[in-house]
Amino acid sequence: MSGVRTADFGAGVLSRAAGLVHTLVTVEALLLLAAAPGLAGLSLIGPDQANLPLAAVCLLPLGPALSAALYALHHRSHDLTDLHPARTYVRGWRLNALPALKLWAPLLAWLTVIAFTVTHFPATGLPGWWAVLLTVIGAGSLLWGAHALLLTSLFTFRTRDTARLAGYFLFRHARATLGAASLLVLVAASTALLTEALPALLAAPLLLSLLHSGRPVIAETQEDFTA
């Protein structure tokens, strides 16, 4: 016992792994709790295409919940003796709820317009290639949203500056954008092939992957766009 140093406790590989698992489980639970009102509403509305605007309203709480989760995961401790993921999540939600909603709500509205147009495309009378173009624009908007969510969760910028930076990084760091795209494909595939609940249940690991792929974006923002 005398040969074990207290300072080393919680610093080993297994301790860090246990700390990561604890953080992921806690953040996942709090994310689902914060988004619960909207998720409950989604479970009550039918899959009818006419319910797309209502579904968008139900998804509004998800933006601040995701932002707080990114904040908590980014600021997580690697020391098993100093884990406070719940406290960090609450702090992230308090700091980022309104900034995230200022970006999340317009993005949801824009994606709802695109989705409604594509699902009712025969009624528009437009050429078929317009549907492809709208789908590409929707996918690009989602990728922009991933960068915007990352930036607004970790930095304090004005909404318009965050939006501009997200657009800039969309092409500046293609690898980070491809990383976000792969996560979106994974979410879409798991939803279509398995169950809609799976992405929600794996939200914390997916967001940790987004943080990992977005490290160049975070590094450049810290170096070039913060004091």
DSSP 25-44: HHHHHHHHHHHHHHHHHHHH
CA distances from 92 to 29, 39, 80, 156 (A): 15, 20, 21, 12
pTM of the model: 0.90
Q: Look up residue 181 and give its two tokens.
A: 């795209």
Structure tokens at 133: 């173009």
User: Digits of tens for pLDDT over the chain (227 positions)?
Assistant: 444 444 454 556 777 788 889 999 999 999 999 999 999 998 888 777 778 899 999 999 999 999 999 999 999 877 666 778 999 999 999 999 999 999 999 999 999 999 989 888 877 777 888 889 999 999 999 999 999 999 999 999 999 999 999 999 999 999 999 999 999 999 989 888 877 788 888 999 999 999 999 999 999 999 999 86
Q: Tell me which long-range contacts 138-144 makes (C-beta under 8 A, separation of at least 24).
A: 138/111, 138/114, 139/181, 139/184, 140/170, 141/107, 141/110, 141/111, 141/114, 142/111, 142/184, 143/170, 143/177, 143/180, 143/181, 143/184, 144/107, 144/170
Q: How far apart are CA 37 and CA 39, in angstroms?
A: 6
For residue 12, give the 3-state DSSP assignment: coil
Residue type, 119: T
